[in-house]
Structure 1
Amino acid sequence: MTDIDKTAGPKGTPPAGAEAIKAIPVRHYGRYVSAAIAIAVFAAIIYAFSQGKINWGAIPDYFFDDRVLQGVGKTLLLTLLSMAIGIAGGILLAVMRLSKNPVTSSIAWFYIWFFRGTPVLVQLVVWFNLGLVFEYINLGPLYKDQWSDFMTPFLTALLGLGLNEAAYMAEICRAGLLAVDEGQTEAAHALGMSHAKTLRRIVIPQAMRVIVPPTGNEVINMLKTTSLVSVVQFSELFRVAQDIGQTSGAPVEMYFLAAAWYLLMTSVLSVGQYYIERYYARGSSRSLPPTPWQKIKASVFSLGRPKGGMA
């Protein structure tokens, strides 16, 4: 027969005479010091900028100017098309690099070595100035025209950014494909699946968990890299901001305007990247990471709760 302790209180309360444990939070003085230093540095930067002769009113005046909006549209279009070329070329190069054929593997290796080893700005300038070497572009019966008419600023920017991005995406895709266990490929082949079908149905869906995060970073990086195409006379956001700054007499203010637009666009892309990563995280963890809105709700509703979770 079990003895009953009559001195014990209700379930969940300590026995009579026992002292409740009093939790004393640990003081993190280093956090307070670092926060104070960060606030002081931020205030000093704001004070330094407030002393300059900057016409802050020019930024909202031109923020939605037609020329600026056209530059934003061209920047987004160039980013989208360049990344499409980069992703398609990267997948092809990654498969070629992993091929057992030494010819295709060597070609892919040389391409990646060359385009990753030279700056994208140099590649843009080379594409733009090839007209000094080739007067005509002659593809036989398919196409023939003067190089200056063929290699427009838009095509120069597209080739320069897209072909360069393909080299980086090739390594990202190759890392994702290699991250999938070889046993799954062997099991698919044992079931009679072809190599192409194994890649499409088994390997690539699992590799996307590794490929998507760095690809999102590449998209954001591509958006900012488009500012380099101003050297080939393409009127994207940065080039438009430069032109407006020269005519309006507010060049620095227009640079701030361009920076604000880049921050806005990269922020939107970052949110999209988060949800795509969350989608491909299904099945790899027990619970999906909370969305930004869920984090805000959790933070707001937890403010009124006392410590320890008791109401």
Structure 2
Amino acid sequence: MKTLSRAAALALAMAALPAAAVAATPAVAAAASPQAAVDELLAADRAFAAAAAKRNVIDGLTAMFAEDVWMPTAAGSFARSPAAAAEVLGSNPANRTAQVEWAPVRGGISADGSHGFTFGFITTKEAGKPDRPGKYLAYWVKKPDGWRVAAYKRVPRPEGATSPASLAPALPAKLVRATGSATAHAASLKAAEDSFGAEAQKIGLGPAFAKWGRADAVNIYQGGATIEQGAERIGRNQGTDATSSVNWGADAGVLVAPSGDLGVTFGYLRANGPVPEGRPTVSPFFTVWRRNSVNDPWRYIAE
């Protein structure tokens, strides 16, 4: 959720990054159908979770990270490699002995089968201490050696039921090859995030979230023990004020599937005005976006 109150532990951003960065993407995935493609992605997520049960938090998470992963940090920046992510995670001594277990509740796939996202519930287990429940969101890219996480975040959640156990996947109508210009896809996605942030300054945070999200959008920061679903509900939870406490744009980068229908934006939330002492004025974020075709508008589907 684009509000600094949900990122109270984050400090000032270290430095501004280029306004747009388009990463290279792999060849079209060899899947028989959209359902087969997302099943493969979910199986990869579950396989990494099974392997993590035998490792500490650091090794369990970074094993699935791409070499150019984006992970928001408590220092107000992004860790941009598995080694950098390991260093951040290792700053908490508990992560050297604790384990994590997780399970996805939904996946989505791009029309070319090479990009996807998953989200679900994660639990940190440490000997002699209560379990620490959380939620996670991962954006994946299919590499030559299999699916790898290109963007990752997890947040704490209160105790409570986590039903439903699974949600219908976000699927394209059919699998296709790369469509259109990669540069144009990236530019259109950046423009969508920038417009979302700009409109929030005019109509308010809640109304902007309701307008720019999909009916099947989710927000892992909301929903308490579960995960909030639907742009209207997400928007209502942001309030009805005609102002926004933060401003933002895709000023760190974007990553888009070759098919131009699924992508992720990276940027920084900046406070509008003073913030309470100890609260950050700048926080990193990423948001997953989807559109039904390259002729349709982008709308966020997960953050």
Question: Given the two structures, how large is their TM-score scaled by the length of structure 2?
Answer: 0.24
Structure of higher CA gyration radius: 1
